[in-house]
């Protein structure tokens, strides 16, 4: 039996339930359909560029485009039961507003309302839930990723920016504005790099992909991108190796501070720049291990994401499929 996408009804108990997942970041916006097992349906996945050079209308158009394209691929017999939106922050969760630092034309932009208008015009009124991308990635890791057996988790994204999210005692923690877990703007001792948030020594200003590349260039390295840095690191370039070590140490110090505060069990890290080299994780663990007299800190496991590039979309879908666990 085929069905029109919409709200599931009691007379179709076996209809597969899908979530429309949307992930908005500093370089792209993606949308895809995700089933109740946390599987991204590849043929439903669409991406459009974002970035600081686009104006507000162009960014909104990119969001609309991926939504419409993804909804058009809903398989016959399936129902879209809700929309989960993960976004770079900061956000105003209760108002559905976003102000991503890497998208400066959007300050208090009503992203949730935009998504609702587009979705509702295509398939009718279904729930839309918006949260920080860091919280989404944390949900994903605990649901089907690297942190499935832990109740005290921090997920991190190390990419164009650095974000994070928290699950404590098995429940998500978003705080009164939705920005809890935003570890990218925790300041790290020994660094004074200026940050776009107004602070100095924030881990994002030190260890994000673009900032690590910029530091390497300032030291005389000849490359231009994170991919170039990865290749130079693998080839033994001294500056590239120093840049990655510097970033890993800063991330490790931030994780150690967060674990001092929250007694974390595991930190799962994804995002494009986390793949620069497996050695990045060794440098991160070295930064944590410096707290050698605090066993409750050094116990924390720091692991790569178990979800590759699917994590942000799976996490956005978890806002719908695991709605009863989302605060």
Q: Which two tokens stand for residue 150?
A: 């832990």
275 shares its domain with 320: no
Report in angstroms the alpha-carbon separations of 282 from 44, 113, 245, 285, 304: 36, 42, 9, 5, 11
Could you give phi then psi for residue 277, rounded to 5 degrees? -170, 145
138 found inside a domain:
no
84 found inside a domain:
yes
139 found inside a domain:
no
53 found inside a domain:
yes
209 shares its domain with 118: no
118 shares its domain with 155: no
297 within 8 A of 144, measured Cβ to Cβ: no
301 shares its domain with 317: no
Domain that holds residue 218: 146-305
198 shares its domain with 284: yes
124 shares its domain with 167: no
CATH number of the domain where residue 121 is located = 3.30.420.40
2 found inside a domain:
no
58 found inside a domain:
yes
11 found inside a domain:
no
Tens of pLDDT along the chain (327 residues)?
Answer: 333 344 444 444 456 899 999 999 988 999 999 999 999 998 999 999 999 999 999 999 999 999 999 999 999 999 999 999 999 999 999 999 999 988 999 999 999 999 999 999 999 999 999 999 999 999 999 999 999 989 999 999 999 899 999 999 999 999 999 999 999 999 999 999 999 999 999 999 999 999 999 999 999 999 999 999 999 999 999 999 999 999 999 999 999 999 999 999 999 999 999 999 999 999 999 999 999 999 999 999 999 999 988 999 999 999 999 998 887
290 within 8 A of 8, measured Cβ to Cβ: no
220 shares its domain with 290: yes
CA dihedral of residues 66, 72, 76, 81 (deg, nearest 10): 50
Nearest C-alpha neighbor of 34 from the set 324, 317, 322: 317
Which is it for the CA torsion 291, 294, 295, 297, positive or negative?
Answer: negative
Give the angle 305-308-311 at the CA atoms, nearest 5°.
Answer: 75
Q: Collapsing DSSP states into helix, strand and coil, what is residue 281?
A: helix
78 shares its domain with 182: no
Overall number of domains in the chain: 2
Report in angstroms the alpha-carbon separations of 90 from 51, 237, 240: 16, 36, 31
- State the pTM of this model: 0.89
316 shares its domain with 294: no
Q: CA 312 to CA 318: how far, in whole Å? A: 10
116 shares its domain with 172: no
Cis geometry, peptide bond prior to residue 90 (ω within 30 degrees of 0): yes
256 shares its domain with 113: no
125 shares its domain with 185: no
User: Taking phi first (over 0 means left), then psi (-120 to 50 degrees means alpha), and beta for anything else, what does residue 222 get?
Assistant: alpha
């Amino acid at each position: 039996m085929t069905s029109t996408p919409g709200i599931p009804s009691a007379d179709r108990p076996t209809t597969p339930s899908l979530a429309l997942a949307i992930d908005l970041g500093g370089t792209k916006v993606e949308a895809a359909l995700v089933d109740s097992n946390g599987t991204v349906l590849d043929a439903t996945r669409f991406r459009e560029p974002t970035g600081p050079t686009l104006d507000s209308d162009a960014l909104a158009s990119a969001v609309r485009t991926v939504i419409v394209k993804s909804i058009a691929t809903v398989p016959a017999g399936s129902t879209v039961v809700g929309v989960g939106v993960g976004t770079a922050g900061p956000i105003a969760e209760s108002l559905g507003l976003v102000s991503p630092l890497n998208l400066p034309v959007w300050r208090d932009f009503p992203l949730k309302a935009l998504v609702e208008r587009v979705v509702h015009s295509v398939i009718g009124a279904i729930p839309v839930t918006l949260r920080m991308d860091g919280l989404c990635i944390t949900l994903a890791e605990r649901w089907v990723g690297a942190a499935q057996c832990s109740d005290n988790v921090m997920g991190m994204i190390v990419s164009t920016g650095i974000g994070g999210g928290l699950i404590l005692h098995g429940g998500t923690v978003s705080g009164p504005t939705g920005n809890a877990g935003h570890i990218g703007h925790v300041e790290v001792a020994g660094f004074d790099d200026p940050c776009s948030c107004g602070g100095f020594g924030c881990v994002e200003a030190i260890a994000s992909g673009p900032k690590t590349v910029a530091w390497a260039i300032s030291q005389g390295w000849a490359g231009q991108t994170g991919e170039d840095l990865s290749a130079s690191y693998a080839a033994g370039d001294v500056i590239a190796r120093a840049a990655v070590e510097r970033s890993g140490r800063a991330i490790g110090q931030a994780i150690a501070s967060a674990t001092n505060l929250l007694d974390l069990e595991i930190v799962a890290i994804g995002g494009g720049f986390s793949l620069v080299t497996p050695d990045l994780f060794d440098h991160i663990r070295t930064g944590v291990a410096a707290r050698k007299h605090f066993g409750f800190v050094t116990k924390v496991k720091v692991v790569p994401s178990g979800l590759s590039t699917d994590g942000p979309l799976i996490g956005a879908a978890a806002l719908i499929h695991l709605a009863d666990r989302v605060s």
